[in-house]
Structure 1
């Protein structure tokens, strides 16, 4: 079922993780503009609002003014210069975050043409854990998973065995 419905493994695992921990009666503020995964969440019955593409390093007014009980931030924190400030300004006590993990065999992703599609951070799992702890969150559950690519070579081979994504559910004390 998932293989035909979802474009990749990441969406499948993220949806399963959400369904395991989150009631569909919760109101979600999904950081980032509407995207294929926020559409999937809505189609699966979750109540989702997205931010409008504002620069969250500078403008956190939606975090302060919007009504929501949960925040989702899927592959957003690596694009922020200061995810600490964003976490401080979230008013909900529940957050789901996924990040691409730093890979020892590959340099950080950077786009030379798209100003929004740049990675300022590629975390190791412990760095996100510490960031959450410092902003008052406690991790309830987490998973790591690989992201294989259909190419030939040493790096594609390593991607079959090396975790690429870290997905966390955390609550504020």
Structure 2
């Protein structure tokens, strides 16, 4: 169903990781508006609600008032100015988070047309690990994968061998 093309390769890895750690009987609050991957989670039998597009740096009420068992955050934290505050506000006991990793050969992503579509943080794995530790989370599992592109050049070649995505399953201490 999910081939090795973008974003399907990412979706395939993310779904496999989610199924490994989260039961379909657990409720999920997925940070960010409904999107193709939250639709995949619902289609796979997970019970998923999404936040509504509010600026989570300013308004964390959806997180703070959530009764969900699990929080998921797939490619959201790089857009936040203060992921520390968001992580501290989570009451759920389980967290699955994925991020695009910082690439030494490419600058941080920034849309030229959408003022919200930009990466304030592009973490290295140890930085996300430390952030989770400082906010009371214990990492139970992690995985990384590449994101090759069908272009020619030095950077596309480097993308074949350099991990781009990092996913973590963590539990509240």
- TM range, normalised to the smaller chain? over 0.9
Say yes or no: does 1:94 pair with 2:105. no
**How many corresponding residue pairs?**
172
For the residues of structure 1 that align with 2:41 and 2:7, how far apart are their CA atoms?
14
Query: Unaligned regions of 5+ residues in structure 1, if any?
Result: none
For the residues of structure 2 that align with 1:157 and 1:107, how far apart are their CA atoms?
16
For the residues of structure 2 that align with 1:142 and 1:7, how far apart are their CA atoms?
20
1:8 positional shift: 1.6
Query: Unaligned regions of 5+ residues in structure 2, if any?
Result: none
Answer whether contact 2:136 2:172 (CA < 8 A) is retained: yes
The CA deviation string for residues 65-93 of structure 1, in whole angstroms up to 9 with x for no partner, is 12201000000000000000000000101
Q: Secondary structure at the match of 1:3?
A: coil
The within-5 A match list for 1:11-22 is: 11-22=11-22
Task: Give the structure 1 partner of residue 57 of structure 2.
Answer: 57
For the residues of structure 1 that align with 2:152 and 2:118, how far apart are their CA atoms?
26
For the residues of structure 1 that align with 2:7 and 2:123, how far apart are their CA atoms?
24
* Worse-matched range after superposition: 44-53 or 62-71: 62-71
For the residues of structure 2 that align with 1:153 and 1:147, how far apart are their CA atoms?
15
Task: Give the structure 2 partner of residue 39 of structure 1.
Answer: 39
Task: Give the structure 2 partner of residue 114 of structure 1.
Answer: 114
RMSD (Å) for aligned C-alpha atoms: 1.2
The CA deviation string for residues 103-143 of structure 1, in whole angstroms up to 9 with x for no partner, is 00011111132122110000000000000000000100000
TM-score w.r.t. the length of structure 2 is 0.97
For the residues of structure 2 that align with 1:7 and 1:78, how far apart are their CA atoms?
17
The within-5 A match list for 1:2-17 is: 2-3=2-3, 7-17=7-17
For the residues of structure 2 that align with 1:96 and 1:8, how far apart are their CA atoms?
18
Answer whether contact 2:67 2:92 (CA < 8 A) is retained: no
1:7 positional shift: 4.6
Task: Give the structure 2 partner of residue 168 of structure 1.
Answer: 168
For the residues of structure 1 that align with 2:167 and 2:66, how far apart are their CA atoms?
24
Say yes or no: does 1:73 pair with 2:87. no
